Structures are given as structure tokens and as C-alpha cells.
Chains A and B, each alone.
Chain A
Amino acid sequence: MESFTKVTGLAAPLDRVNADTDQIIPKQFLKRIERTGFGQFLFFDWRYEADGTTPNPEFELNQPQYSGAVVLITGKNFGCGSSREHAPWALADYGFKAILAPSYADIFYNNCFKNGILPVVLAEETIAMLLERGKTAGYTMTVDLENQTVTDSEGFSQPFEVDPFRRHCLLNGLDDIGLTLQHEPDITAYESKRPLWKRGAVAA
């Protein structure tokens, strides 16, 4: 798993609520069997005109000042809808390392941590303020997981909460399958007590 400790760089505002994973990465790009190369399709239907090649000048992230942004600031319930992990793959591949929002959908939130992206929860008023600040060209932020702080180039500084275990795994880029496999004796012991009728796809 990718690790994350701290990122400093351009922040881009996406002032929308309930941005769902169908928007983050539309279904026509879910047919690939690789994990890589999804960044070019991020927010595809918002990002491009109907022809699929002309950038839509109205779309926030198409403004040249946000090119190379590493922090995404956005509205509540980000990543709702489909469980597709292609969404964090696309965000990471595009270059985003951290997301700031008032809330996230559960599955998406979880998927971020598996892919080295840090989703930070900040109060709605704070996000509203940062979305405003993000409109200024060259606005940069630092998201620091080690110290659990978000700061910006204009003196803003705020701590944030994150589950200690998730933090530990992300800081160290731990392979959580490997962690579970360390408990193999517990799994085997559990299996020996499962009732016979829980046969799954094997008929009695």
C-alpha cells in the first residue's frame, strides 16, 4: 500500500456537494483491468465537452491555475454512490494526494486509505472558507498526517481527527492483507467452529 506522510502544494476547489463516484470516474472507463492510467478520465463528463476531447472551460479544475494541484477542497458527501475503487485510483493518478471535505461516503473514504490518499474531514464553515480562498491563483496548502494539521499559505492552521489505526497504516504504507494473515491461527480456529449449514456455494 502507498504511504502518506505530508503534502504541500496547490489546492483546487470543487464547490459541489454530493459529487458521486459516477462523476469522479464515469462507467465507460471501468472496463480496464489495470489499476493505473485512470487520471486522464477523472471527472470526464464534467471535464470535457460532448465530443469528449475539448476541455469544458466552465469546469473548475480546467482552469490553468489549478494545473498540478495536489489538494482537492470540496463539498459534503464526497464520493457517494458506487463502490468503484477506480475513483481514488483516478484521483491519485491525476495527482491529488489529499482531499478536504465536510463529509465522505463510507466506502469511498475507506478506499482512499487503501490508495495513499488522505481524506480529511473539516467543519462545513471551514470548507466554505477554504473553497473561497482556493479561488486565488497560487493558493497552496499543507496537509500533514504526522502532526494531523492542515495549514495554508495565508496563515490558516487547523488540527484534524483521524482514526489512529488508519493513520498508522497510511503513514507506514502497511499491507493490511499481510496484517490479517498474521492472524491466520485465529481465522482457522474461527472456521473450525462455523456451523455445517454455512456451506456457501456447495450444496449439502
Chain B
Amino acid sequence: MPKTMFEKIWEAHVVRETVGQPSLLYIDLHLVHEVTSPQAFEGLRLTGRKVRRPDLTVATMDHNVPTTSRSLPILDQISKKQMEALSDNCREFGVTLYDIHSKRQGIVHVIGPELGLTQPGLTIVCGDSHTSTHGAFGALAFGIGTSEVEHVLATQCLPQSLPKTMEIRVNGKLGEGVTAKDIILAIIGKIGTDGATGYVVEYTGEAIRALSMEGRMTICNMSIEAGARAGLIAPDEKTFAYIQGKTFAPQHAEWDEAVASWRQLPSDPGAKYDTLVELNAAEIAPYVSWGTSPGMVIPISGLIPSPDDYADAADRRAAERALEYMGLTAGVSIQTVALDTVFIGSCTNGRIEDLRAAAGILKGHHVRAGIRALVVPGSVPVKLQAEAEGLDTIFKDAGFDWREAGCSMCLGMNPDILQPGERCASTSNRNFEGRQGKGGRTHLVSPQMAAAASIAGHLVDIREWDKN
């Protein structure tokens, strides 16, 4: 019987099956960061357990780290304590750690692929919901809670019940100025923030195949925003080319063996998914979020919706609340709303390709007076690469703050936050109330759209911007 890629990966990782119980799956790679791991390590200590496979476990610091100069002392003592706890835990349990002084440090979902740790066909977990990012390589990757982090540390396995499968097929070609970010925002807008709950999604179709690895990561990254357990994209020559030569990529005979196995992964013709969703890429405009959930999105040319547009009473109330929180009026063009801040970064859009795209728009321009603009590379290697290409100069000349690597204003655990009422165009993934700072108002956009918005002082249609 023809099989989906998901089924192939799942079956290859079942350690044990017992009727009436979840399957016990083997985990090939466990990524760890400072926020969701301290209680898990503490649990191991309390029960006298060890980390079963330190070689399959890699830790970094990203959520809490200041992104100002690394030579400055860390002022937030509680953050500092959490980072120290990770260092101590990694030392005690023998886990590799890339701390803030490492050349490999960065957002956990940026460094996995960059180091060649993320490979097709693997099972990858991390105590972070955006672990779905790694699915761009054809790996089954999903976020877990701290109890499960402890479970994987102790056993390298995780009991999992079988999810359903959904194919999201994006046919045709994207228009000029439309990016991977716009595809995924359009998808979430269409199916809703719980549209894929209980499913593993596989993205297929011409528009997905045409994306770079960075673009594919952006798509899979935000799968969780549609509720999906994981997102997957079949590996191809682009995938192999991206991985080859990376620090932890297989080498020599092992490389050939690995690639041969990876070629077997894509879903077989005729494989069955539980659900199919189709989109036409040509109809996708640059998207922007207007509300407080990633499903509250409109095309940039659209008008801010009215609560009356929603059939369901609960959704209507949610829209009312969102309009109030966001300080917006229904029926108005989103392009007329003035911004205070522009943030370029995060595990969604903090990779080198994203910085290149933003710099391409900014070159020769300046950020509008009164706008605070910051760019936070997703990792130290991204930062160094950007500097080697001179992108840092373009950003700085345009008036952007050029930062060290980390999550930064994506969730505002470090000192970079919005003040109440401040409005931000952000390349991150969540526009929840208070996500970027209590009372802060977030509009999710692509890097190109964020860059153009920083120059204009408000959101603009990047397709028309090009003609200026």
C-alpha cells in the first residue's frame, strides 16, 4: 500500500507497540533551551536518572539572552540564573551546550539546520512549539512540554498516539513580492488557528517545491499556529545541497547511505491523507495580521474586518476584543495605520535569506523618523554571514539597530519589549495580546514588508513599493 512520508517516518521509529496504548517512538535528536528545561533536569536529579543519549541532545540559549553586546553584563538576575542553570545542568549531565559566548549560539530552530543536525527522516523534539520548523527537511519534528523533555532526556523515547494526516497543496506560482510567510499566513487565515489540530501536515505542490530551504522552514515553523502537531515537506536535491558539508552532516560513505535512505522518504504516489486543503499560489497576496491571533489576517490590500463578518458568536466577540486591543477600526485600510516599531528576526524570519530580502528593500533608504527598528539575526553564524556580505552596514545606515543573536522581541523575555499601545510590524510568528510586551500591538508580516514599513512608517503593499 502506498504510504505518506509521515507514515514512513513514524513506522521507522516505533520501538514498541502495545494494544490500547500510545506507541513508543524513538527520538533521534533532542534540542534543549534554557526556559523549558530546568524543571526537567531537576526531575532527573530527584529520581536519580541520567541523560540516556547526551550525543543526541544539544542545548543552546536563546529565549532569555540579551541581544545587546555580549561583553555587557546581564542585568536581569533571574534570566542570568536561568542561563546559569542550563550551563550547570549541561555540565552535570554531559550535554553539549552552545552558550552566549559560542560561535554556534542562536535560536534553537535556526541552529539545528545550520549545524546539519536537522536531517530528513529524523524524529526531532524540543520543549518549544516551533520545533515544527525542522519539518522543512522531511523530519518529523514537534514541540513538547517540560515533563516530556524529562521523558526524552531519561529514555530517548516518547509515547505518542497516532495523529491524523493533512495534505496542504499550494498549486501554481507565487506573484512578485509574495513570500513563504504570506503563504503560511494565508493558510492559517483559511483553516484557522485550530484548523490542523490533531494533524501532521504535509505541504506539497509547485509553490512549495519552488521555495528555498529558508522559505520552507518559514512555512513549517508556523504549522503550530494552525494547531498542527508537525509540518513536513518532502526532501529533494535542494534539501541535500543545504545539508551537505554542514558540521554534523554525514560524510563520505555515510553521506551516500544517508542520501539513499532520504530518497525513499517522499510520500508514494496515491498515498492517502485524512484531509486535503488546496490553495492557488497566484491568488495569494502579501498578508498581514490585524488582530491578536495568527488566524486574524488579511491581504495587505484588504480592509480591517468587522465583527459582523463572523458567523459564530464566540468568534464575533473575539474579533471585537481584538479590534479594541489593537486600537483599530473596522472597514479601514490597514495601510493607513502608523507604526512605532519594526522588528526583523525570530525563528520564522531570522535567517540569512530573510536578512538579505529586508536589506534589499532598505538599501539607499532610511527608517522614518520616530520609528524604532531592530534586526536580530537568528544565530551567530547568520550574523557573521550577514556581516561578511555587508548587510549590517545597510541596516545600520538605514537606521536599524544591529543586534546579537536570540529570540529577542519575538517574545520579549529579554529587555526588548513594546510599551503599552505601541504598534509593531514584526517578522515573528505570534500576535497574541502582550506577546511583544504588555499592551503591545503586533502585525505579522514578511521581512520585505517589514523593511518597507520601516521606511514608510506604516504598512505598505510591497508589490506597489517595487514600482516606486
Contact between A105 and B434, CB atoms less than 8 A apart: no
* A23 CB contacts on chain B under 8 angstroms: 432-434
Contact between B24 and A111, CB atoms less than 8 A apart: no
- Please give the distance in Å from A133's CB to the nearest CB on chain B: 16
Contact of B434 among A22, A35, A128, A165 (CB under 8 A): A22
**B171-196 residues at the A interface, CB under 8 angstroms:** 193-194
* A18 CB contacts on chain B under 8 angstroms: 193-194, 293, 295, 318
> Considering the chains assembled together, what is the distance between the CA atoms of A194 and B435 in angstroms?
41
Contact between A75 and B314, CB atoms less than 8 A apart: yes
Contact of A186 among B24, B49, B128, B321 (CB under 8 A): B24
A190 at the binding interface (Cβ < 8 Å): yes
Selected interface stretch from B28-36, B352-360, B363-371: B28-36
B336 at the binding interface (Cβ < 8 Å): no
Instruction: Type the 1/0 row for B54-73, where 1 means its CB is closer than 8 Å to any CB of A.
Output: 01111000011000000000
A contacts with B, residue count (CB < 8 A): 62
Contact between A107 and B144, CB atoms less than 8 A apart: yes
- Please give the distance in Å from B133's CB to the nearest CB on chain A: 13
* A50 CB contacts on chain B under 8 angstroms: 420, 438-439
B160 nearest CB neighbor, chain A only: A110
A111 nearest CB neighbor, chain B only: B145
Contact between A76 and B194, CB atoms less than 8 A apart: yes
**A68-93 residues at the B interface, CB under 8 angstroms:** 75-77, 80-85, 88
**Which residues on B are within 8 Å of A, measured CB to CB?**
15-16, 20-22, 24, 26, 28-29, 35-36, 38-39, 42, 47, 49, 52-53, 55-58, 63-64, 76, 78-79, 81-82, 85, 96, 115, 117, 119, 122, 127-129, 143-148, 150-151, 154-157, 159, 161, 193-194, 197-198, 224, 227, 229, 247-248, 250-252, 254-255, 257-258, 261, 293, 295, 314-315, 317-318, 321, 411-413, 420, 430, 432-435, 438-439
**A155-204 residues at the B interface, CB under 8 angstroms:** 163-165, 176-177, 179-181, 183, 186-187, 190-191, 194-204
Selected interface stretch from A4-12, A24-32, A59-67, A142-150: A24-32
**Which residues on A are within 8 Å of B, measured CB to CB?**
1, 15-18, 20, 22-23, 26-28, 30-35, 45, 50, 75-77, 80-85, 88, 103, 105-107, 110-111, 114-115, 128, 163-165, 176-177, 179-181, 183, 186-187, 190-191, 194-204
* A84 CB contacts on chain B under 8 angstroms: 35-36, 145
Contact between A204 and B254, CB atoms less than 8 A apart: yes
> Considering the chains assembled together, what is the distance between the CA atoms of A102 and B127 in angstroms?
26
Contact between A111 and B314, CB atoms less than 8 A apart: no
- Please give the distance in Å from A117's CB to the nearest CB on chain B: 12
Q: Which secondary structure dominates chain A's binding surface? A: loop
> Considering the chains assembled together, what is the distance between the CA atoms of A155 and B26 in angstroms?
47
Beyond A33-B39, A177-B49, is A202–B194 a contact (Cβ under 8 Å)?
Answer: no
* A194 CB contacts on chain B under 8 angstroms: 26, 28
What are 17 residue pairs bridging A and B, where the CB atoms are less than 8 Å apart in the complex? Answer: A18-B193, A30-B63, A31-B78, A33-B42, A75-B314, A80-B227, A84-B145, A85-B145, A164-B20, A165-B21, A197-B257, A198-B28, A200-B29, A200-B55, A201-B248, A203-B248, A204-B254
- Please give the distance in Å from A80's CB to the nearest CB on chain B: 6
* B115 CB contacts on chain A under 8 angstroms: 201
> Considering the chains assembled together, what is the distance between the CA atoms of A183 and B159 in angstroms?
12
> Considering the chains assembled together, what is the distance between the CA atoms of A84 and B33 in angstroms?
12
Contact between B413 and A28, CB atoms less than 8 A apart: yes
Contact of B411 among A27, A32, A197 (CB under 8 A): A27
> Considering the chains assembled together, what is the distance between the CA atoms of A88 and B147 in angstroms?
11
Contact between A111 and B147, CB atoms less than 8 A apart: yes
Contact between B129 and A110, CB atoms less than 8 A apart: no
Contact between A107 and B129, CB atoms less than 8 A apart: yes
